Amino acid sequence: MFQHTLDRADQITSPRLKVTVIGHTHLWDARAQLPRGRGGKLIVQPSNRDTAAGIFLPLSYVRAQDPQATVVLYPSDHFAYPEHRFAEGVRCATQAAKELKDYLLLLGVNPDRLEPEYGWIHPGAHLGSIGGNVIRATKAFLEKPDIEGCRTAMTSGALWNTLVVAARIETLWEVGWQCFPEMMPLFERYERAIGTSQEEKVLKSIYEVMPVRNFSSHLLERHPQRIAVMELKGVLWSDWGKPERILESLHRIGKRPSFPEAHAAAV
């Protein structure tokens, strides 16, 4: 999954512009999958402080290099097929994020079942279109609803939240200050140390006091007015956090798993 995510990112921009953030326990595996000289920047988190820190850490590095950049955030455990359609959707989202400067552009997927372990997005007003894709405002988020909540969301036209985000770096930074005022000074301190002999020391020190915050529940859900959504069409998408989802995805594209299916059922 990690390798596929890296490959998808490389379809959108130069591999040298990629920033990958991982935990210490995944360092060996990550280095084996990042080609020497083509892997971009690898940042190792001193500890796991949830997803907000995991996102704003690499954003600090990007901002230090190019504060006018537009970035795409990719979770590393998701499945998308076919790859070229996913890449085209991300390209459209990136262009939309450049034009809708005050918004974070989030990719959504039309649900095909009641899935209580996914986040759901309720689209709102029409904001425009790009490449045949409609961009809409966000009315609300629904995180991991019960079955009845899923049924209501699906009936009302809600989308699954892929957590793939395209946005200008300064827009993300502005929303970060609104949501995480106790966290952002730490990352600005780290940003000033990037490229100096103090970089690793500062990174370690800020993580000793880093708050635990979740990007979805503490930012996306609390500021839906800053989020635009674009439906990712013609793509089979799944969060592969469960073995049964892996099997379901492989079956749908006519592939056989390389592991005994009984093993996944027993997990």
Q: Which two tokens stand for residue 236?
A: 């089979």
pLDDT in tens, the chain (267 residues): 777 788 888 889 988 899 999 887 777 777 777 766 567 888 999 999 999 999 999 999 999 999 999 999 999 888 899 999 999 999 999 999 999 989 999 999 999 899 999 999 999 999 999 989 999 999 999 888 999 999 999 999 999 999 999 999 999 999 999 999 999 999 999 999 999 999 999 999 999 999 999 999 999 999 999 999 999 999 999 988 777 887 888 888 887 766 666 555 544
**Phi and psi torsions of 213, nearest 5°:** -140, 145
Q: Looking at residue 263, what is its pLDDT?
A: 52
Q: Which residues, other chains included, contact 126 with Cβ-Cβ below 8 Å and sequence gap of 6+? A: 134, 135, 136, 137
Q: Looking at residue 266, what is its pLDDT?
A: 43
Q: CA-CA distance, 131 to 50, in Å (whole number)?
A: 35
Instruction: State if pTM tops 0.85.
Output: yes
Block residue for tokens 């395209």: 166
Q: Looking at residue 26, what is its pLDDT?
A: 78
Q: Looking at residue 244, what is its pLDDT?
A: 80
Q: Looking at residue 267, what is its pLDDT?
A: 46
Neighbouring-strand partners of residue 80: 237
Q: Looking at residue 261, what is its pLDDT?
A: 61
Q: CA-CA distance, 108 to 89, in Å (whole number)?
A: 10
Class of domain 2-266: alpha beta
Q: Which residues, other chains included, contact 68 with Cβ-Cβ below 8 Å and sequence gap of 6+? A: 168, 169, 170
Q: Looking at residue 38, what is its pLDDT?
A: 62
Q: Domain spans of the chain?
A: 2-266
Q: Looking at residue 30, what is its pLDDT?
A: 74
Neighbouring-strand partners of residue 23: 45
